[in-house]
Amino acid sequence: MSEQAPSTADFLARIALLEAAVAARDITIAERDEQLRRERAEAALRIQRLQLRIDRFNRKAFGRSSEKLGQMLLELEDLETDVAAGVPDAELPIVADTDNVRVLPVRKLNPNLPRKRVIREPSCACCPGCGGALRAMGEDSEEMLDLVAQAWQVIETVRPKYSCRTCDKIIQAPAPAKAIARGKLSYAALAHIMMAKWGYHLPCYRQTQMMAAKGVDIERSTLARSAGYAAALLDPIYNRLREIGRTRTKLHTDDTRLPILAPGTGTTHKGALWVYVADDRNSGSQEPPIAWYRATMGRAGESVMSELAGFAGTLQADGFTGYNQIYKGGAIREAACLAHLRRKIFDVHDSQPTELSTTAMAGIQAIYRIEEEIRGLPPAERLAARRRRTRPLVRALRRQLMRQANGLSRHADIAKAFAYGTKRWRAFNRFLYDGQLEPDNLIAERAIRGFTVGRRNWLFSGNFAAAERSAVVLSIIETCKLCGVDAEAYMADVIERIQNDWPASRWDELMPWNWVRCHEMPRPLAA
């Protein structure tokens, strides 16, 4: 029996079936291509993120930091000074400049340093050529910086005893007050130890090695305990600094990690060290600058809230979420840090520069150039300059960022950097409406940078009490630096006065900006 030939309907059905299969295959291929495209985009984004992290690490490890650049400039200036000092004035080299001609400068040593005059007379008393008499006709002089070796000495206090032959009464001068009962360290020695540990970041074991080289045998534990006892004497000054600081209308704050040893466990707590700085000298204020630190067992916004209880004004800080609850009451206004936004954009720009990142960096740099010109002016003049010159730049920057950022993936690093700025744009703009404010929080960052350097040396605090003592001494040292006061001499003099029952009603006289050394104080006139 022969097979029947397929009909036209069968052909059409088969064709429809094949077309459906081809369409399904095309859909599968399209879905697979779309999946591959997404995977490639995610891989490219992941590569970009990893490359950005590598560039950040390389920049931190091998990049030219501002400190290295400063050292290079100092070395260059030293070379110029050496050349200028070794050549007579008539033969000073002239350096060609594009605009004008300048003479290399000659650096002078600090005129306030003690000086020792050394006169070098000729070896002969008469003319070596003809034997004639010599007469003075002038002199040449040059200065060199010399170092007098540090010397430890022992102060022996002798108190003679006298007796009265009439009533047999014994007369003797009272014993001087010591910073530490039965201690063997003077006030100056204690101040030197504290300054070396917290000011110059030298742990106690290094100090014992340095002292041993000078013939002083002292235990490391003795140095640590003595520094803690001496720091406790500075508590009244520290508490007064906090009181005065909270009365200001603007504060800068920042924090960094502070590992605190957990005794008996071999581990450390994740503590934090907070810094608060009141410094309005950039806006022409005559109020003295103040800095104080607080150690906490954790990093939480409650720590800042408790510390700033009673403060009303503007708090300039970074974008840490723990600050958000502080701003809810309305008594404290938020002012963001433009330097943080610039760093986030720069990290992307330095690795993969684009037109968008280049434009953003140029706009921020223009803002900072204006700030450099108006630094130190009164708030009213700073505010007028910002309204006239800075505000158009800020508005143009925001418009461009918002317009161009719409086409970016929210996972892109440059988009994240812009999102950081747009979320806090009102806080970033705060300095445009208040001439007292700064565009960034670098004042607080500079105050906490020294602590981060010291942390590399001593690694952690032995306990929370030691962390609090560190905060006290760091507050005194940083405030002295801001006020231009010798912190070591200040601490030596102040702890001696406090130990000798300085009245509490006169604490303000011992503040770093009011401090006068004991031997420089005016003596009362005789009656």
pLDDT per position as a tens digit, 165-208: 888 889 989 888 888 888 889 999 999 999 999 999 999 999 99
Q: Residue 228 is which amino acid?
A: G
CB contact at 8 A, 500 and 177:
yes
Reported as a single tens digit per residue, the pLDDT across 133-145 is 888 888 888 888 8
Q: What pLDDT was estimated at residue 235?
A: 95
Q: What pLDDT was estimated at residue 93?
A: 45
Indicate the residue among 369, 404, 439 that finishes a domain.
Answer: 439
Indicate the residue among 379, 412, 439 that finishes a domain.
Answer: 439
Are residue 193 and residue 309 in the same domain, yes or no?
A: yes
Over residues 63-73, mean pLDDT = 49
Over residues 441-452, mean pLDDT = 90
Are residue 356 and residue 314 in the same domain, yes or no?
A: no
In a domain, 103, yes or no: no
Q: What pLDDT was estimated at residue 63?
A: 57
In a domain, 493, yes or no: yes
In a domain, 71, yes or no: no
Indicate the residue among 421, 439, 457 that finishes a domain.
Answer: 439
Are residue 355 and residue 376 in the same domain, yes or no?
A: yes
Cβ neighbours of residue 514 under 8 Å, at least 6 residues apart?
508
Overall number of domains in the chain: 2
Percentage of the residues of the chain whose pLDDT score is greater than 70: 84
Asked if pLDDT for residue 70 goes beyond 50, the answer is no
Who has greater pLDDT, 522 or 6? 6
Distances (CA, A) of 320 to 201, 228, 255, 314, 484: 28, 32, 10, 16, 31
Over residues 281-294, mean pLDDT = 94
Distance CA(103)–CA(88), nearest Å, equals 13
Q: What pLDDT was estimated at residue 407?
A: 65
Are residue 267 and residue 304 in the same domain, yes or no?
A: yes
Are residue 290 and residue 423 in the same domain, yes or no?
A: no
Distance CA(461)–CA(259), nearest Å, equals 6
Rg (CA), the chain: 35
Are residue 306 and residue 346 in the same domain, yes or no?
A: no
Enumerate the H helices of 157-291 as residue ranges. 187-194, 204-213, 220-233, 235-245
Are residue 432 and residue 399 in the same domain, yes or no?
A: yes
Are residue 475 and residue 410 in the same domain, yes or no?
A: no
CB contact at 8 A, 489 and 191:
yes
In a domain, 240, yes or no: yes
- Pairing mode of beta strands 94-96, 170-172: unpaired
Asked if pLDDT for residue 479 goes beyond 90, the answer is yes
Q: Phi and psi at residue 125, in whole multiples of 5°?
A: -90, -5
Reported as a single tens digit per residue, the pLDDT across 298-330 is 888 888 888 998 899 999 998 888 888 888 878
Are residue 353 and residue 291 in the same domain, yes or no?
A: no
> Which structural domain, as residue segments, surrounds residue 416?
338-439
pTM of the model: 0.75
In a domain, 55, yes or no: no
Asked if pLDDT for residue 228 goes beyond 80, the answer is yes
Are residue 320 and residue 342 in the same domain, yes or no?
A: no
In a domain, 20, yes or no: no
Who has greater pLDDT, 402 or 164? 164
Asked if pLDDT for residue 242 goes beyond 90, the answer is yes
Asked if pLDDT for residue 465 goes beyond 70, the answer is yes
- Region of poorest pLDDT, from 144-153, 313-322, 397-406: 397-406
Are residue 365 and residue 474 in the same domain, yes or no?
A: no
Over residues 70-97, mean pLDDT = 46
In a domain, 214, yes or no: yes
CB atoms within 10 A of CB 102: 10
In a domain, 49, yes or no: no
Are residue 253 and residue 328 in the same domain, yes or no?
A: yes
Distance CA(401)–CA(406), nearest Å, equals 8
Q: How confident is the model at residue 95 (pLDDT cuts 50, 70, 90)?
A: very low
Q: What pLDDT was estimated at residue 92?
A: 39
Q: What pLDDT was estimated at residue 447?
A: 92
CB contact at 8 A, 207 and 223:
yes
Burial 475-491 (b: 16+ CB within 10 A, else e): bbbbbbbbbebbbbebb
Distance CA(122)–CA(67), nearest Å, equals 46
Average pLDDT, the chain: 82
Q: How confident is the model at residue 274 (pLDDT cuts 50, 70, 90)?
A: very high
Q: What pLDDT was estimated at residue 497?
A: 93
